[in-house]
Structure 1
Amino acid sequence: MRVLKILAAAILLVASLGCAAFAQTLEKTSVRLGVGGKALLYYLPLTIAEKKGFFKEQGLDVEIDDFAGGAKSLQALVGGSVDAVTGAYDHTIRMQAKGQDIRAVLELGRFPGIVVAVKKGVKYDSPADFKGLKIGVTAPGSSTNIMMNYVLAQAGLTPDDVSFIGVGSASSAVAAIQKGEIQALSHLEPVISMLERSGDIRVVIDTRTEAGTRALFGGENPAAVLYLKKDFIDKNPNTTQALVNALYKALKWIQTASPEEIANTVPEEYLLGDKALYEQAVQNSKASYSITGLIDPAGMKSTNDMLVKFDDTMKDTHVDLSKTFVDTFAKKAAESVK
């Protein structure tokens, strides 16, 4: 009996030392991560990594700060209140143009997943009809706003030709349409499926699919990514890899999970009181999630071309797109994550 007790104690000691050694490989075990609208399906991989315990498996304690929109989470990263962000890829290009070295390390969405719709009864034949309308976006400066600017530019319009209103995510966006506070909407799932089913909107542009994305942009257009300051990546390569590993595992899980399994995993409030509707929204969005975690160079160029076309502050900039995405972390995750 005494021998057994000694053996058990030795096993526990080795296990604890092993955990400590693992923890020591991470430069930071506590990470603050910003996101703009966590309940949106645009950021589903983040919620899956959190709820399935994939961050903890990597030895990370991740505190998630949920902001009103992607522009706010970017501001938090620049200001230093968060260490990393799950946000739109185009933010990395914009910041590189401003001389701030922010880089993506993992693609979460290969299509934007953003839908532009008009309220039922509002006249719409072409993007020119957006002139003078009140258009809801998640938040000013966020990806939903940026894509809408691109749509306007194609019709020869500018952001000054419309009124943009930040409507947040989920229930507040639905309410804004139903109360008539806005006449059009650039938004994401599950908001779109809810408004489609209730008959409150008519979809006019849809980037949830490859066909819809190519129709608008003429090619691929990467969406959500994990991005950080280069300085953080350089100082914390193991912590960065751990974040990528967890989110990459979430992407692989989403690929094989059923809409019902996904609905059973996310917080109940994400379902907006209608689980079946949420499952339909998941089904509508599944094709948009990244398969490899890598951004195709053509997608980088497509995004840059979009920004240069409609944004006067970007027209004379020459961004080295190779600095907007570091592919080594995603490649390593593909080799090691099971």
Structure 2
Amino acid sequence: MPPFARFMAPAFAACAILFWTPHADAEKLTLMTGGVTKIIYLPVTLAARLGYFRDEGLDVEILSEPAGVDTATELIAGAVQGAVGFYDHTIDLQSRGLEVESILVLAQSAGLAELASTRVDTPMRTMADARGRKLGVTGFGASTHFLTRYLAQQAGLAGSTYTIVPIGPDNGFVDAMMKGSIDAGMVEEPTASRLLAANAAQVLVDMRSIEGTRAALGGPYAGSCLYAQRKWVAAHPDQTRRLVRGVARALVFISTHSASDIMAVLPKNFVGDNEALYRQALADMIPAFSRDGRMPDGAPQTVLGVLAAVDPSIVPRHVDLARTYTNRFADEANVVSGH
């Protein structure tokens, strides 16, 4: 089911409320992430844990959905003010006549890895081996869905030659890989490291770093970001400014602290039982986080090119990339912080 078909069906029953401490005089805002424990969405969690939203006079409630496509659904339905997900959703939504924009870029990599299960009879070695295989994604319409299709296409495979299986993130994904019920799948950290450490998977395509993403997708990229409906941003510039400023401070924190320092701020359930594994996964991801929250030059064009390659309904000449992001609030935040 395409994302836009579900825009008026809020799915709060499936949500988890992660952080929300009411403050008497603060303005209430609600954000939704496509899986709050994923390292790629860490800046928003840190902004809440470090009190940066409170410093801005904001009372920010953070909700979590299994996949970014669900986050986009709730944003368009007006159930939340901001979404934390992949930049590609802004382009996909605009192609369907829905105006949203990235107001702060969190990561300059896709932050994803395509892993092959080692628990099947004949493990895949490259994406060209996907013919006749089952490929796991977090959900239909999710970024993992279209990027999986793109990688298969680049390997010369038509969409009809393999099967896409939506399995969600985290434990559901791990279970599917461990049991060999899928041949390969695309997932974020720290789940990728859990599977690799258990020798249940091997890397087919690594897009967790900036360099790996560029090699796989052909240019500079924007992965996770904070985005909102353009009409909401236009009507609430002050709240947007303060929201961005809070998350931008978290980006600075990430760039100036070690993985151990960052972990000390996080809830225990984020880190899990294997602290060493999480620490290494986080340390490897830190360089991919943006330092200033600005859209990387050329990234919108790369993302559009990848999307259009697998979805004929997205016609590049009909997409106005300038309306899918703004650097205005990031620039203002950087001036205030001195960066």
User: How many angstroms does 1:176 deviate by?
Assistant: 1.7
Structure 2, unaligned stretches of length 5 or more?
Answer: 1-22
Q: Letter of the 2:194 partner, please give it.
A: M
User: How many angstroms does 1:317 deviate by?
Assistant: 4.9
Residue 323 of structure 1 pairs with residue 317 of structure 2: no
SS at 2:135 equivalent: strand
Seq. identity, %: 31
Q: TM-score, normalised by structure 1?
A: 0.88
The worse-fitting range, judged by mean Cα deviation, of 54-63 and 205-214 is: 205-214
The match for 1:170 is: 170
User: How many angstroms does 1:326 deviate by?
Assistant: 1.1
SS at 1:300 equivalent: helix
Q: Letter of the 1:284 partner, please give it.
A: D
| In 2: Cα distance, 1:30 partner to 1:278 partner | 32
| In 2: Cα distance, 1:135 partner to 1:149 partner | 9
Once the two structures are superposed, the pairs formed by residues 79-118 of structure 1 within 5 Å of their partners are 79-118=77-116
- The structure with the largest alpha-carbon Rg is 1
The match for 2:66 is: 68
The match for 2:236 is: 236
The match for 2:152 is: 152
- Are the aligned partners of 2:304 and 2:316 in contact in 1 as well (CA < 8 Å)? no
User: How many angstroms does 1:316 deviate by?
Assistant: 6.2
User: How many angstroms does 1:177 deviate by?
Assistant: 1.0
| In 2: Cα distance, 1:327 partner to 1:144 partner | 26
Q: Letter of the 1:34 partner, please give it.
A: M
| In 2: Cα distance, 1:34 partner to 1:127 partner | 32
Deviation per residue, 1:239-259 (Å, 9 max, x gap)? 001110011000000011111
The match for 2:220 is: 220
Once the two structures are superposed, the pairs formed by residues 184-195 of structure 1 within 5 Å of their partners are 184-195=184-195
- Are the aligned partners of 2:28 and 2:59 in contact in 1 as well (CA < 8 Å)? yes
| In 1: Cα distance, 2:271 partner to 2:140 partner | 25
User: How many angstroms does 1:132 deviate by?
Assistant: 2.1
| In 1: Cα distance, 2:49 partner to 2:38 partner | 15
User: How many angstroms does 1:216 deviate by?
Assistant: 0.8
- Are the aligned partners of 2:221 and 2:296 in contact in 1 as well (CA < 8 Å)? no
| In 2: Cα distance, 1:123 partner to 1:201 partner | 9
SS at 2:264 equivalent: helix
In the superposition, relative to structure 1, how do residues 218 and 209 fare at CA in structure 2: closer, same or farther (>3 Å)?
Answer: same
The match for 1:250 is: 250
User: How many angstroms does 1:53 deviate by?
Assistant: 1.2
Q: Letter of the 1:208 partner, please give it.
A: R
SS at 2:298 equivalent: helix
Q: What value does the CA root-mean-square deviation take over the aligned residues?
A: 1.8
In the superposition, relative to structure 1, how do residues 316 and 265 fare at CA in structure 2: closer, same or farther (>3 Å)?
Answer: closer
| In 1: Cα distance, 2:211 partner to 2:234 partner | 38
Q: Letter of the 1:76 partner, please give it.
A: E
| In 2: Cα distance, 1:80 partner to 1:239 partner | 16
The match for 1:198 is: 198
Once the two structures are superposed, the pairs formed by residues 112-127 of structure 1 within 5 Å of their partners are 112-120=110-118, 122-127=122-127
| In 1: Cα distance, 2:225 partner to 2:190 partner | 19
User: How many angstroms does 1:141 deviate by?
Assistant: 1.4
SS at 1:265 equivalent: coil
Q: TM-score, normalised by structure 2?
A: 0.88
Deviation per residue, 1:129-170 (Å, 9 max, x gap)? 112222222222111122111101212334443222233222
The worse-fitting range, judged by mean Cα deviation, of 137-146 and 112-121 is: 137-146
Deviation per residue, 1:196-239 (Å, 9 max, x gap)? 11111110111112221121112111101111111100110000
- Are the aligned partners of 1:128 and 1:152 in contact in 2 as well (CA < 8 Å)? yes
Instruction: From the two aligned structures, give the one with the greater helix fraction.
Output: 1
Once the two structures are superposed, the pairs formed by residues 14-53 of structure 1 within 5 Å of their partners are 29-53=27-51
